[in-house]
Amino acid sequence: MQLSQSFFLLATVAAVATGCSSVDVGTKLAAYGVGVPASEQRISGKTIMMTPKIEDVTPESFNIRYMELSFGNGTPKNIRDMAIAQCESLGKTAIYKTTSRGLIQGHTTKAYYECIAKKV
């Protein structure tokens, strides 16, 4: 009986701490710092197994979910290019903010970007 109560408590804490929060950790991290122009971000690895998807799109920001094969610490070129194209469609410049790796969504990776007005 004690073991099942402990398991239930552990499962509840894990669900609340990871899956039931209103904003994911990557979104919180992306809110800090200035970022780097996407055209200058470090490129590494390649996407695998799924077509990258642009998510959570607003006029100011979005993220791209993908799976990657990488031994470095960078973003695949096609992800960077998607981000640049997304912001250019709004007449803006893509700024890379951060990357997070998901444990719940099938070990996917999310790259977070902002779109800012182009400097004249």
Question: Which pTM does this prediction carry?
Answer: 0.71
* Tokens describing residue 32: 């800090």
User: Which residue, chain included where needed, has tokens 């981000």?
Assistant: 83
How distant, in Å, are the alpha carbons of 28, 67, 82, 104 from that of 8?
28, 31, 42, 19
Q: Report the pLDDT value the prediction gives residue 54, as an integer from 0 to 100.
A: 93
Q: Where are the domains of the chain?
A: 23-117
Render pLDDT for 39-60 as a digit per residue (tens, 0 to 9): 998 888 888 888 999 998 998 9
Contact 84, 91 (CB under 8 A): no
Extract the residue ranges of the chain whose pLDDT is less than 50: none
